[in-house]
């Protein structure tokens, strides 16, 4: 079992240089850091072993090179951390610039705040590369690498290039926006960011919406389709899934009983002099909706004079990103609004808002959560929002009302809160009143349901779920019955091929010998394909059968001269080695005439699709059409064809790879292949194919045949290879081995 390597912009420890050139190390145990260490402890307790982990990230300040070796040493030995040092320009361009000035606003739908600076983008690429290099320097292929958040979106692919077999997960802590917003990024950047992400084996998001937006964006921008969140990427799979991040529930819940928290709560009680409290806690950020919250508080006071003096808003704001212009402006606006409200409604004995602008220690935060009668969490957009969950966890007396924005990821897990639209000031003001007047038994009912849920799915479960999923995608062989053809396996097949008296090879054409293309006419066999077929055909007692759904004259033109047998149009037209073409009895054309107009109607409804007619079948192609509309229209088409053909046995409707095919069921690859195998009396049979029609062939061949699927299971084949490249290598090995054997004889 390897280590867990966590990669994030910031290390959970900040290193600063004091005035006297002393280095100061300060741990900052955020939600992720303390959650992951809780996870590792639990794993260790359950498995009886110590799970090793290492954290890679920026130590938080610009550091002179003189101090770097010492810091590296200390971080490694005392904090299981590995620093990535950044220069001033890199922090500016990568962190403040591209991460917080472009990606952060864009992904939170504040696109008017976005800067589009080529220079910042270049820094982002440069720093992501630096992170990938740092990971590659220490990680091995046994380790699990977990990359976090929007600052490092290019890292998975950069790492994949260096470590093709690494197990890489990525989690995005902020929203993934809809495709319409994402495409505001210059196309080149957008594509590179997506390419960067899909280097991972698993990509996780907080909510189903973000997952869906991402899948849709990679379909539209990169052309990758998915099936239940799984995307086939050549020789590997990518999984995209939803993992709502939790908190350390027990840590918050139990902390309410700590002596220092109880003391702090007493203090609060005295200061508040029996008044009720509404709590608001955030990092300073325009996404958090602090100004709207204040306006709603103002409206509440204005419209509910009887509540004045009886309740107070505790507004805690943690300083953050003050170097970015928008944050500075917002800070002024908050100061001003707080001043105005306190000035207008406050008096000698009471101010409506207690404003704290600093990071508060854990004990004070828990005391505030556990003291407040209601929490006001009203972000305009928020990936998840952990404050909402922390408030719920700290309610130990069965009371407390959470007012929550429906724009926070947490809303989908906390529907028993008072959900509000953060853009509606009256709605928030009303919710404040409802919260203050909510009967106690209703409060308890709502809290119980929310506590149950977030207690079960806490941060440890979140990490477990993610890492378990990652293990499953990165090592799919564990659950698949087919065997991957390794180089050892190839050698074994080649030996059997050499030793055989009579050999028969069935090779599908498209997707097996050559790749796919938008135009079915343009996929001629390349030099390498022709060469290996020629070598195989020259061997004694060897028949190579190219089996395809294509028209016989096309195949004849491309490979007819080599001397291979050709089974065209799914077995309707056949030519065995050196013999004449044989056509099965003339087909019944009636269904073609009846069904063709339906296909043509769909050509009109889906620009880019077209109909191809073959002797025994009609094919509707949509590979070149809109990638989202295509599959929808295909499903509709299949439905209407099935309704129309009913239980006719003369025609079969087959949805395939970006095609819908109508064919005569009497002619399929399986029946023909079985017939040829019987005729040939071969003692070595291999069949290679990649699509649904090849499955007939795998099933139809006699026992003992070697059946190989190109691509992913499920399949009836016993073996599988990843790509056309692997097929050609296998065939070349066969030719090579047999040629040597011939020469020896």
Give 286 or 620: the residue with its C-beta nearer to ligand ADQ.
286
The answer to whether 630 touches 606, Cβ cutoff 8 Å, is yes
Q: What are 592's two structure tokens?
A: 């073609």
CA nearest 27: which of 14, 40, 10, 8?
14
Write down the residue that tokens 């990535």 correspond to.
Answer: 84
**Which residues have C-beta within 8 Å of that of residue 392, sequence separation ≥ 6?**
400, 402, 414, 447, 450, 451, 454
Q: How far is the CB of 207 from ligand ADQ (least distance, A)?
A: 10
Give 179 or 206: the residue with its C-beta nearer to ligand ADQ.
206
Q: How far is the CB of 333 from ligand ADQ (least distance, A)?
A: 18
The answer to whether 155 touches 196, Cβ cutoff 8 Å, is yes
Give 60 or 711: the residue with its C-beta nearer to ligand ADQ.
60
Distance CA 636, CA 644 (A): 12
- Name the site residues for ligand ADQ (rule: CB under 6 A): 31, 173-174, 245, 281-283, 316, 318, 359-360, 365, 382-387, 390
Is residue 131 classed exposed, middle or buried when 0-12, 13-18 and 19+ CB atoms within 10 A define those classes? buried
Q: How far is the CB of 636 from ligand ADQ (least distance, A)?
A: 39
What are the residue numbers of the active site? 508
The answer to whether 156 touches 197, Cβ cutoff 8 Å, is yes
CA nearest 120: which of 149, 151, 84, 147?
151
Distance CA 31, CA 29 (A): 7
CA nearest 401: which of 367, 429, 377, 425?
377
Q: How far is the CB of 20 from ligand ADQ (least distance, A)?
A: 29
Q: How far is the CB of 647 from ligand ADQ (least distance, A)?
A: 54
Give 172 or 676: the residue with its C-beta nearer to ligand ADQ.
172
CA nearest 343: which of 353, 333, 329, 334?
353
Q: How far is the CB of 390 from ligand ADQ (least distance, A)?
A: 5
Helices 208-222 and 187-197 pack at an angle, to 10 degrees, of: 120
The answer to whether 51 touches 41, Cβ cutoff 8 Å, is no
Give 7 or 384: the residue with its C-beta nearer to ligand ADQ.
384
Question: Does residue 535 sit in helix, strand or coil?
Answer: helix
Distance CA 64, CA 85 (A): 9
- When computed from its CA atoms, the radius of gyration of the chain, rounded to whole angstroms, is 33
Per-residue burial over 276-286, b = 16 or more CB atoms within 10 Å of its CB, e = otherwise = ebbbbbbebbb
For the chain, the first-to-last Cα distance in angstroms comes to: 50
Distance CA 280, CA 334 (A): 13
Is residue 541 classed exposed, middle or buried when 0-12, 13-18 and 19+ CB atoms within 10 A define those classes? middle
Distance CA 298, CA 317 (A): 18
Q: How far is the CB of 281 from ligand ADQ (least distance, A)?
A: 4
DSSP assignment of 485-525, as one string?
--HHHHHHHHHHHHH-SSEEEEEESBTTTB---SSTTS---
Give 363 or 629: the residue with its C-beta nearer to ligand ADQ.
363
171 sits in which H/E element: strand 167-171
Q: How far is the CB of 206 from ligand ADQ (least distance, A)?
A: 7
Give 282 or 569: the residue with its C-beta nearer to ligand ADQ.
282
Q: How far is the CB of 290 from ligand ADQ (least distance, A)?
A: 11
Give 284 or 673: the residue with its C-beta nearer to ligand ADQ.
284
Give 149 or 694: the residue with its C-beta nearer to ligand ADQ.
149
Give 31 or 190: the residue with its C-beta nearer to ligand ADQ.
31
Positive or negative torsion for Cα 149, 154, 158, 163? positive
Q: How far is the CB of 10 from ligand ADQ (least distance, A)?
A: 11
């Amino acid at each position: 079992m390897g280590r867990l390597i966590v990669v994030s912009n910031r290390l959970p420890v900040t290193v600063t240089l004091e005035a006297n050139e002393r280095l100061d190390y300060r741990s900052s145990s955020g939600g992720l850091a303390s959650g992951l260490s809780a996870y590792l402890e639990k794993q260790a307790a359950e498995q009886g072993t110590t799970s090793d982990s290492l954290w890679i990230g920026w130590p938080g300040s610009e550091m002179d090179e003189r101090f770097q070796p010492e810091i590296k040493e200390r971080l490694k030995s005392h904090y299981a951390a590995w620093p990535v040092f950044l220069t001033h320009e890199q922090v500016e361009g990568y962190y403040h610039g591209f991460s917080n000035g472009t990606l952060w606003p864009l992904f939170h739908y504040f696109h008017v705040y976005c800067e589009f600076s080529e220079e910042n983008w270049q820094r982002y690429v440069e720093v992501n590369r630096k992170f990938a290099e740092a990971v590659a320097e220490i990680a091995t292929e046994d380790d699990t690498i977990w990359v976090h958040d929007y600052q490092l979106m290019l890292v998975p692919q950069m790492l994949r290039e260096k470590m093709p077999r690494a197990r890489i997960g990525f989690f995005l802590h902020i929203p993934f926006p809809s495709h319409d917003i994402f495409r505001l990024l210059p196309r080149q950047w957008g594509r590179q960011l997506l390419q960067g992400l899909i280097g991972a084996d698993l990509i996780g998001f907080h909510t189903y919406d973000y997952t869906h937006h991402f899948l849709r964006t990679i379909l539209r921008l990169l052309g990758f389709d998915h099936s239940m969140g799984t995307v086939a990427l050549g020789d590997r799979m990518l999984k995209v899934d939803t993992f709502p991040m939790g908190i350390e529930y027990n840590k918050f819940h139990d902390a309410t009983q700590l002596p220092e928290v109880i003391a702090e709560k007493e203090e609060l009680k005295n200061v508040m002099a029996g008044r009720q409290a509404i709590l608001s806690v955030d990092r300073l950020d325009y996404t958090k909706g602090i100004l709207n919250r204040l306006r709603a508080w103002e409206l509440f006071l204005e419209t509910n004079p009887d509540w004045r003096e009886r309740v107070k808003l505790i507004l805690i704001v943690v300083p953050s990103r003050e170097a970015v212009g928008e944050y500075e402006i917002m800070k002024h606006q908050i100061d001003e609004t707080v001043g105005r409200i306190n000035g207008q409604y406050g008096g000698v004995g009471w101010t409506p808002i207690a404003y704290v602008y600093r990071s508060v220690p854990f004990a004070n935060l828990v005391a505030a959560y556990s003291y407040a009668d209601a929490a006001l969490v009203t972000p305009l957009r928020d990936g998840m929002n952990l404050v909402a969950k922390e408030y719920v966890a700290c309610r130990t007396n069965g009371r407390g009302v959470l007012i929550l924005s429906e724009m926070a990821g947490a809303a989908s897990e906390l529907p028993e809160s008072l959900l509000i639209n953060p853009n509606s000031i009256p709605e928030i003001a009303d919710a404040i009143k409802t919260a203050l007047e909510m009967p106690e038994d209703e409060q308890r009912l709502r809290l119980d349901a929310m506590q149950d849920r977030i207690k079960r799915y806490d941060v440890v479960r979140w990490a477990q779920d993610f890492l378990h999923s990652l293990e499953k995608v990165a090592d799919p062989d564990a659950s698949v019955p087919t065997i991957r053809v390794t180089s050892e396996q190839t050698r074994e097949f080649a030996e059997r091929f050499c030793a055989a008296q009579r050999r028969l090879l069935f090779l599908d054409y498209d997707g097996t010998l050559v790749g796919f293309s938008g135009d079915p006419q343009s996929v001629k066999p390349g030099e390498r394909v022709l060469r290996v077929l020629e070598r195989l055909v020259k061997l004694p007692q060897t028949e190579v059968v190219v089996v395809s759904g294509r028209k016989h004259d096309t195949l004849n033109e491309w490979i007819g001269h080599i001397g291979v047998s050709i089974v065209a149009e799914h077995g309707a037209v056949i030519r065995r080695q050196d013999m004449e073409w044989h056509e099965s009895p003339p087909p019944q054309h009636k269904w073609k005439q009846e069904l063709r107009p339906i296909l043509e109607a769909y050509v009109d409804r889906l620009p880019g699709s077209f109909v191809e007619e073959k002797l025994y079948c009609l094919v509707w192609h949509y590979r070149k059409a809109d990638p989202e509309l295509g599959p929808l229209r295909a499903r509709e088409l299949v439905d209407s064809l099935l309704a129309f053909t009913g239980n006719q046995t003369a025609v079969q409707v087959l949805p395939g790879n970006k095609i819908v095919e109508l064919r005569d069921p009497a002619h399929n690859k399986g029946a023909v292949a079985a017939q040829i195998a019987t005729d040939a009396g071969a003692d070595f049979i291999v069949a290679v194919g990649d699509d649904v029609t090849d499955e007939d062939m795998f099933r139809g061949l006699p026992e003992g045949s070697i059946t190989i699927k190109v691509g992913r299971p499920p399949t009836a084949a016993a073996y599988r290879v990843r790509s056309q490249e692997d097929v050609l290598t296998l065939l070349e090995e066969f030719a090579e081995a047999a040629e040597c054997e011939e020469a020896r004889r």
